[in-house]
Chain A
Amino acid sequence: MTDMKSSPAGRSGAAAPAPDPASAAPGQTATTDPLGAAPALAGRRRSEMLYFALRNPKVILGLSVIVAFLLFGLLGPLFSEFGPRERNAGPLGAAPSSDFWLGTTWTGQDVFTQLAHGTRATFQVALMAAAISAFIGMTMGFVAGYRGGRLDEILMMITNIVLVLPVFVVVIVVTAYLGISNTATQALVIGLFNWTWVARAVRAQTLSLRARDFVDLARLSGVRTLSIIRREIAPNMASYLVMTFILLFAGAIVFAATLDFLNLGPRGGMSLGLMLQQANQQAAMSLGLWWWFVFPGAAITAITGSAYLTNVGLDEVFNPKLREM
């Protein structure tokens, strides 16, 4: 899990996309790039990124698995005549068979149905939570890095406090008191606490971009701060932000599953973490009902693992140094 923090943030310099050549001062080729081909490369950059991304085997494999699970979550429930919590849908504790593809639980619930509904809920929570974390973290990072000064210090102090806090334990207390009624609340709680590394990384990126010529140029021509961030800085960090979002997504999946596993998740629904919780609580391991806990856990691992894989692939795409090796 170190990679979540150190990889995209640590190699920040290399991962930062080059500034748009069109806005750089004309005739200026002030690089120590030994290739001498840098301006030409940068011009083709954006379309090239997509080209390389779609050809990188890691990105292809990672995205395929994620999309496959997404489709399974969207369409899977349609293939099932049962409810996710419906007891006695089939025989009790039956192994996978042609009738019950992934077997049944100790109370006769259909594991396939649960898995499909659980995958759907997991995607919902993770995407919402990642969006919230991304919004908070990026805003904090942008503003702190761009404005600097006192505001930077205050925002970074807040970030560092939340960073040191054992977030999960705090979330446990908060949810124990307030309760989580639905996936949106859960996403909100996760999103509110899981943004610190994003803020720090985005701040570092913004600082390095702010010092570049094209941002100076925009500032000199009297463009407002917010639109500089939106028009000049954000697009130049786009690749980095995509990778950040993917990592947040993976992190949120595990976070949500862990909350669900402690029975602190939304009431009434079904999720991958809740499946594990029920399997564990009803002693599926000693009963030998492996299908009950192997599938949901494998699904979580496959989705998060694919997210990491996609990220490694994107890192190779966005970071030409890695690509050309």
Chain B
Amino acid sequence: MGRYLGRKGLIYALTLFVAVTINWMLPRFMPGDPISDMVSRAGLRDPEAAARMQAYYENLFGLDVPIWQQYLNYWGSLFSWPPDLGISMWSFPRPVGDLVMGALPYTLALLIPAILLSWYVGNKLGALAARRKALDNTVLPVSYLLTATPYMWLAILLVWFGGMQLGWFPSSRAYSGNLVPEFSMSFIGSLALHWVLPFLSLFLVALGGWAIGMRNLVIYELESDYSNYLGALGAPPRLIRKYAFRNAMLPQITGLALQLGVVLTGNIVTEVVFNYPGLGLLLLNAITSTDFFLLQGIVLFVVIGVLICNFVIDIVYVWVDPRTRTGLQGASA
């Protein structure tokens, strides 16, 4: 177990290293001068303010020290508390950290239920489809259709149909414009209403993939040796299916880690379509206003979040698969 988690930990550490290094390298080695670029794009009328901004960023980049020291300083600023991710250009002079923290709850409110529910429902649906031919004939094509649908298109369709045509749900922002965030029924109700469509969009696309995966895995497990042996000893189909399902869950848990990036991408475009004030929308704003500090801050944050999720999934995996615990044979790393 220790070896398995240790190996994973090493990969994560290296990944973090690579991500931080890319992040550090890009502004320094790209052609042109990103700082004056950013400052001129900020469009400050007051030349003195522009000069101050330029000085601030040059100081922040620490261009006056040797390059290796710049690199070390960069790491140092990340590990200070609170992490110093710089000041946003798009929303000057707010710290990038604050902006990210403000957007995070919205993203998590979409992502966590969408990922967990689509995974759970998809697995159940897939297992059922593997069992009943009639259900299979509907679940499978629908699942393929869903998984082939680009996130942004489903989001757009939901805005148009659920939001505009039917008018059932609001299709922009996280709560009504005339409300201020507070702990009240009307605010929470508005929050919930605004949450439905973007959640559905993420949930539905992801659902298809899980259902297909589970169906194929269960069918595969039902043909495995241990299933055959149970069948030969007259075990009822119920027991055989239960074992097949449990075994099929293992790749699906690993798959959860592999799919994180995909769902995250879906979340970005979904937030853009719904104008939902999470990290995805913040990311788009950073891109359109070429706010590199904000962009890098979000990326670092997302990378670290993904690594943490991966690690959590690894621990869950160790818990459910005895083969990783005995240390005799690790699952594919």
A293 within 8 A of B: yes
C-alpha spacing A262/B281, complex, angstroms: 10
Counting chain A residues whose Cβ lies within 8 A of the other chain, the interface size class is: 35 or more
Would B209 and A3 count as touching, CB distance under 8 A?
yes
A301 within 8 A of B: yes
| A251 CB, nearest partner CB in chain B, Å | 10
A169 within 8 A of B: yes
B residues at A contact (CB < 8 Å)? 11-12, 14-15, 18-19, 22-23, 26-27, 30, 34, 144-145, 147-153, 156-157, 159-160, 163-164, 171, 206, 208-210, 212-214, 216-217, 220, 251-252, 255, 257-262, 264-265, 268-269, 272-273, 283-284, 286-288, 290, 292, 295-296, 298-299, 302-303, 306-307, 310, 332-333
A10 within 8 A of B: yes
C-alpha spacing A261/B286, complex, angstroms: 15
C-alpha spacing A242/B34, complex, angstroms: 43
Contacting B at CB under 8 A, from A1-24, are 1-7, 10-11
Would B156 and A297 count as touching, CB distance under 8 A?
yes
| A299 CB, nearest partner CB in chain B, Å | 10
| A73 CB, nearest partner CB in chain B, Å | 17
Would A170 and B290 count as touching, CB distance under 8 A?
no
C-alpha spacing A172/B30, complex, angstroms: 15
Would A285 and B148 count as touching, CB distance under 8 A?
no
| B37 CB, nearest partner CB in chain A, Å | 10
Would A2 and B287 count as touching, CB distance under 8 A?
no
Nearest to A200 among chain B residues (CB) is B332
| Interface residues of B, dominant DSSP | helix
Would A166 and B303 count as touching, CB distance under 8 A?
yes
Residues of A within 8 A of B144 (CB): 305, 308-309, 312
Most buried by A among B258, B286, B288: B258
Residues of B within 8 A of A166 (CB): 260-261, 264-265, 302-303, 306
**Contacting chain B: which of A37-45, A127-135, A157-165, A210-218?**
A157-165
Q: Which listed residue (B30, B153, B209, B214) contacts A177, Cβ 8 A?
A: B30
Would A285 and B156 count as touching, CB distance under 8 A?
yes
C-alpha spacing A297/B160, complex, angstroms: 13
C-alpha spacing A157/B12, complex, angstroms: 10
Most buried by A among B151, B152, B210: B152
Residues of B within 8 A of A288 (CB): 160, 164
| 7 pairs of residues in contact across A and B, judged by CB atoms under 8 Å | A7-B213, A170-B303, A176-B295, A250-B148, A257-B150, A261-B272, A286-B164
Q: Count A/B pairs, Cβ under 8 Å.
A: 186
Nearest to A250 among chain B residues (CB) is B148
Would A262 and B268 count as touching, CB distance under 8 A?
yes
Would A10 and B152 count as touching, CB distance under 8 A?
no
A125 within 8 A of B: no
Other A-B pairs, 15, CB within 8 Å; known A2-B252, A5-B213, A305-B144 = A1-B262, A6-B216, A7-B212, A161-B18, A165-B306, A168-B261, A169-B303, A173-B295, A176-B287, A261-B150, A263-B287, A280-B156, A293-B160, A297-B157, A308-B148
Residues of B within 8 A of A165 (CB): 15, 18-19, 261, 303, 306
Nearest to A173 among chain B residues (CB) is B299
Would B261 and A258 count as touching, CB distance under 8 A?
no
Would B14 and A157 count as touching, CB distance under 8 A?
yes
Residues of A within 8 A of B299 (CB): 169-170, 172-173
| B6 CB, nearest partner CB in chain A, Å | 14
| B305 CB, nearest partner CB in chain A, Å | 9
Would B150 and A2 count as touching, CB distance under 8 A?
no
Would B251 and A161 count as touching, CB distance under 8 A?
no
Would A276 and B152 count as touching, CB distance under 8 A?
yes
Tell whether A285 pairs with B171 under 8 Å between CB atoms, given A164-B11, A305-B144: yes
